[in-house]
Amino acid sequence: MLTVTTLASGSSGNAALVSCGRTHILLDAGISARRITTALKALGVPPQDLSAIVITHEHHDHVSGLGVLCKQIPAPVLASPATCRYLGDKLPQFRGRLQGQEPGTGVQLGEIWTESFSTPHDAAGSVGYSFSAEGRRLVLCTDLGYVTPEVKRAAEGCDLLICETNHDEDWVRTGPYPYYLKQRVLGDRGHLSNEAGAELAALAVESGARTVILAHLSSENNTPAHARAAVCRRLAAMGCDPERDICLAVAPRKETGPVYRLEEDGAAVAFALRGAALC
């Protein structure tokens, strides 16, 4: 069954594990290789068994552990051609390991069909990912300034959405960030606000998603409760009770989150690391 677990989420580092059967895909490597391998072992996945590493974009909080990890394990690294060019310059010793995947195309990685789609962000060629297996689909959509038609198409009809709710726009405007940083965060190539993320979450839920995990929260301009409240308001406005109708969670910033397993009916069951069911 298709499962997903976030290992870390936010501007201090991002990584997640997507698995189905014997296929294990690491999605971003923005924390240290040691933290990644420790988390994988805790999840029962020997790091050597990783089938592939897929990278959304070259920002530090998504690739900081990649170089050391590539020394330790033999998995191929997939990213957009523009991201591959950047990574090839930074990590020339692993250039042969990089595989360019045009945004908008898909590739079969073991048991998981992996599609990428372009995202508007201040990076070389950033993408989000859609993973499908056994008739279920999950989508990761973080690090984007606004929701494009491509992003909407990807989110529509998925079973589980990992959705960016980076900041409260007013908190950014009135907060301590310097002007240029405020412009960057709020701009078309920055990050999704709570309201914009809530809109995307609503679109996914309206089209059938039963699980939404809020991700990439700013530590200065957001809190988990604040992001969750914004999404709850938006879902309530369309008649959805997030406590009853769906599973709504916030990805922990620095620890491994629950394992979300997509069941045959499209709902996700969340398990704590030691196997106890959470919901």
What residues make contact with Zn ion under the rule CB under 5 A? 59, 61, 143
C-beta nearest to Zn ion: residue: 59
Instruction: Output 59 or 228, the one with its CB closest to Zn ion.
Output: 59
Q: How far is the CB of 82 from Zn ion (least distance, A)?
A: 14
Output the CA–CA distances (angstroms, integers) from residue 69 to 32, 94, 171, in the order listed.
Answer: 8, 11, 36
CA Rg value for the chain:
17
Nearest approach in angstroms of CB 59 to Zn ion is 4
Q: How far is CA 274 from the centre of its chain?
A: 23
Q: Judged by CB, which is closer to Zn ion: 206, or 220?
A: 220
The least CB distance from residue 166 to Zn ion, in Å, is 9
Min CB(90)–Zn ion separation in Å: 15
Q: Which is nearer to Zn ion, 144 or 205 (CB)?
A: 144
Q: What is the closest distance, in whole angstroms, from the C-beta atom of residue 61 to Zn ion in the complex?
A: 4
Taking the C-alpha atoms of residue 235 and residue 194, their distance in angstroms, rounded to an integer, is: 13
Helix (H, G, I), strand (E, B) or coil at 119: coil
Give the residue carrying structure tokens 């070389």.
124
User: Which region, left, alpha or beta, applies to residue 137 given φ > 0 means left and ψ of -120 to 50 means alpha?
Assistant: beta
Q: How far is the CB of 182 from Zn ion (least distance, A)?
A: 16
5/166 with CB nearer Zn ion: 166
Our separate counts of H helices and E strands in the chain read 9, 15
Choice between 191 and 261, CB closer to Zn ion: 191
Closest CA to 27 of 50, 60, 46: 50
Question: Which residues touch 183 (CB under 8 Å, ≥6 apart)?
Answer: none
Q: Which is closer to Zn ion, CB of 220 or CB of 263?
A: 220
Specify the length of the chain in residues.
279
Phi and psi at residue 275, in whole multiples of 5°? 100, 0
